[in-house]
Structure 1
Amino acid sequence: MLFAITQSTALVIVLLDGNPLADRLSAAGLLVLNGLWFICYGRRLVEEDRDDWRGFVYAAGSLVLFAGAVWFSGSATFALFGLVPQIYMTLPLWWAFFPMVLFVFTPQILTYAAGADPALPWPAALLIIAFSQAFGWAISRVADQNKLRGQLLERIEALTIEAERARWAAEIHDTLAQGFTSIITLLQGAQPNVELALQTARENLREARALVAANAPSPLDGSSLEDALRRLVSGVSLPSSFRVIGNAVPLATSVEVVLLRTVQEALNNVMRHSGASRVDVVMRFDSDGVSLEVRDDGRGFGDAPEGFGLRGMRARLEQVGGTLSLSSDEGASVLVEVPL
């Protein structure tokens, strides 16, 4: 925009000065060609942020056209206000300094060669040089800040996408994958388990719809946490029990979701890995907080490293200030504690 304004102003000034018509038209034509040179070549360098030898090519072509315009009309010197910023936009800061000096001194050199008074007083030329370098430094700083800001935004976007993928992976692992595992286990047990498998499949269908709609976990829809946990425990194919100790207190939805997912994951691990014949779940309320323990009589954890499920449980609990403890004393125990 600045370039277009200064070039248009320079054209008007040139066409209205006192030089012969032929000189005025020649100067105006060269200024127009200079504008076309920027549109066809220089603008692409600015848009692509090219800081290489192509900037010198643009500066050389622009200088030749500008010098020709000044030769025919000293009033074309006004075009400097639009041409100098273009040099700083197509070349690095200190590379642009020398072409800029040539642009500023061109009117002095040409008018001196023609034996006329300088079109631009020397003090004004030196002032323009100092101002141009300061202006170029400001442009460089703004460009660097914009580039840094763009890189930061790209990094934030990448981290956001990564976190969202991890969240969805945990959701799928904690709901659909566990439910389908239960279905397979139940169907392997023969006909009496078919009805329970169908019930589990319906639960997972509701889970899928809840995930897509970004709602709370479906086992909590329209029921208390205790009821949802009781349904989960009764849905396993092993002998099981669920009991609540203490007086239940209202919990934040985020805490209820974490406790529910933790029990889902623990029960899934019992069914898949423990070889247990029984599993018991105890929920306890006291003055300090709420705890949940899932205990089975299986083979325990042994020396096996924690898998994705346990790491996901820890990550979820950290979001609500909770802790996870594991033990393998006469089976396996998963203890979750969340402060109130």
Structure 2
Amino acid sequence: MDRPRRPVPWAVAVVYGAVLAGGVYWSLVGEGLDHPGRLAGFVLVLALLFGVELVEWRTPVHPGVLLAARIGLFAAAASLDGSGTSRALFVLVPFVAYFAFGRATSVALAAACLAFIVTGFSLSTPDWYRDAEYVSDLLMFTIGLVLAVCMAAVASAEREARGRLESTLDRVAELSAAMERNRVARDIHDSLGHHLTAIAIQLEKATAFADRDPALAERAIADARASARDALADVRRSVRALREERPPFSLRDALTGLAGDGGEPAVTVTVTGEPDRYDTAALTALYRAAQEGLTNARRHAKASVVTVSAAFDEAGARLVVADDGRGFATPGEGFGLLGMRERVELVGGAVSVDSGPGAGTVITVTIPPAPAWSAA
């Protein structure tokens, strides 16, 4: 039987130690010297109580059994302790019960302990309520019961709060790991996928023209090698980013690199405005969108011309990737477009795709104005 360990485990041991010290002291300096057997029995009972605590921490015993054992030993200690100090042990009954059975049971047992003490006073001293010492002891015992229940409530609430916090932290860690996996997946698809597509196209071109136009086939192979080098450079940049060695990102240079990577169709790039006012995340989202649009144009559209235009002004950032390819009737939602949407939505933007059979494809990405524009 697995159950959470009781908070503040030292509290019970401290009370046991205080009661033991008080009982032994009374026996040595008071009337207890005349009853050495009671002192030995008292010490034995306290030792058994410490043993119960040890059993609880090392052996899975039902809490009801342990609570019953404690109450019996408390009663035995109170009967052997002439100083009355052992009555303080009953304060632990609602304290321990709170963690095992809950608040209602704890409060009920606190009331039962109070009734038990009152009954004991009534049986031993019928007019006890006329004695200020008895009344004072009863009030102190009542205060002890209230404090015990309150302390247990606070400790229990703290344990529950800590459990919720740990659960929340675990969930945050899971979500962070999932987000990082998605980011890496998008990077692999957008970066390596683009370069591998270019390499495949160039190698197919080289194979097709190997006999008819060896010079063109050689250029295609050279272009494939250049794309492979670009892929390796992209991987290295990603590794540097993971190591937080982030060089400044230039969207102009990145888009120019897309246009001049040697692939087909021909790519025209225009950039207007001030992209540097946007943060790296927004610029990277735009670059990956352009890269994905170009990859799709090369892989599926059979386009002859692709235009990439990026404009930055007070209204926001706008990227348009247009090709004159064969288009499609119903836009597909493959992993590339899904990753593009995820990337753009993370920076507050939106993606739209306009296409039709024989009419080419236009991908439009918009991102809200950067804070630098708002402050200008």
Same fold? TM cut 0.5: yes
Select 2:56's aligned residue among 38, 41, 60: 41
With structure 1 as the length reference, what TM-score do the two structures score? 0.82
Please name the residue that 2:361 is paired with. 332
Aligned to 1:92: 102
6, 22, 25: which is aligned to 1:16? Answer: 25
Compute the RMSD of aligned alpha carbons. 3.4
**Which residue does the alignment assign to 1:28?**
43
Residue in structure 2 matched with residue 64 of structure 1 by the alignment: 72
Task: Encode CA deviations 1:47-71: one digit per residue, 9 max, x unaligned.
Answer: xxxxxx9221110111122221112
Q: After superposition, what is the alpha-carbon deviation per residue over 1:179-215, rounded to whole angstroms, capped at 9, x for unaligned?
A: 2233223222224322222222222222223323326
**Does the C-alpha gap of structure 1 residues 108 and 167 become closer, same or farther in structure 2, counting only changes over 3 Å?**
same
Quickly say closer, same or farther: Cα 1:43–1:227, change in 2 above 3 A. Answer: same
Aligned to 1:156: 172
Greater shift, 164-173 or 113-122, is seen at: 113-122
Query: Which residue in 1 is equivalent to 2:286?
Result: 259
Identity fraction in percent:
26
Q: Given residue 173 of structure 2, which amino acid in structure 1 is its aligned partner?
A: E
Post-superposition CA distance 1:283-302 (Å, at most 9, x none): 34556444332222222142
* Corresponding position: 1:299 with 2:326: yes
- Distance in 2, matches of 1:227 and 1:210, equals 14
* 1:250 aligned partner, one-letter code: D
Q: How does 1:73-152 map to 2 (within 5 A)?
A: 73=81, 74-82=84-92, 84-104=94-114, 121-152=137-168
Q: Which amino acid aligns with 1:63?
A: I
State the AA in 2 paired with 1:146.
R
Shift of 1:254: 2.8
Superposition deviation, residue 151 in structure 1: 3.1
Q: Report the 3-state secondary structure (helix = DSSP H, G, I; strand = E; otherwise coil) of the residue aligned with 1:214.
A: helix
Alpha-carbon shift at residue 34 of structure 1 (Å): 0.8
In 1, Cα distance between equivalents of 2:285 and 2:122? 83
Distance 1:91 1:205 in 2: 63
Residue 306 of structure 1 aligns to a residue whose secondary structure is coil
**Matches of residues 270-285 of structure 1 in structure 2 within 5 Å?**
270-285=297-312
Q: What is aligned with 1:225?
A: 251
For the 8 Å contact 2:38–2:80, the answer to whether it is kept is yes
In structure 2, give the amino acid aligned to 1:57: V
CA distance in 1, matches of 2:144, 2:48: 24
Paired with 2:248 and 2:146, the residues of 1 have a C-alpha distance of 73
- Cα separation, 1, equivalents of 2:105 and 2:262: 74
Post-superposition Cα deviations, 1:226-273, rounded to whole Å, max 9, x if no partner, equal 232122122253131323264555343333212211111111222222
**Kept after mapping to 2: 8 A contact 1:238/1:279:** no
- Identify the residue that residue 48 of structure 1 maps to in structure 2: none
Q: 1:217 to 1:159 in 2, by over 3 A?
A: closer
The 8 Å contact of residues 71 and 90 in structure 2, kept in 1 or not, is answered as no
Mapped to 2, the partners of 1:113 and 1:223 lie a distance apart of 88
Name the TM-score, length of structure 2 as normaliser: 0.75
Partners of 2:200 and 2:243 in 1: how far apart?
26
Q: Which residue of 2 aligns with 1:234?
A: 260
Is the 1:278–1:296 contact (alpha carbons within 8 Å) kept by the matching residues of 2?
yes
Classify the secondary structure of the residue corresponding to 1:150.
helix
Extract unaligned runs of 5+ from structure 1.
46-52
Amino acid at match of 1:69: A
Q: Which residue of 2 aligns with 1:49?
A: none
Shift of 1:178: 2.7
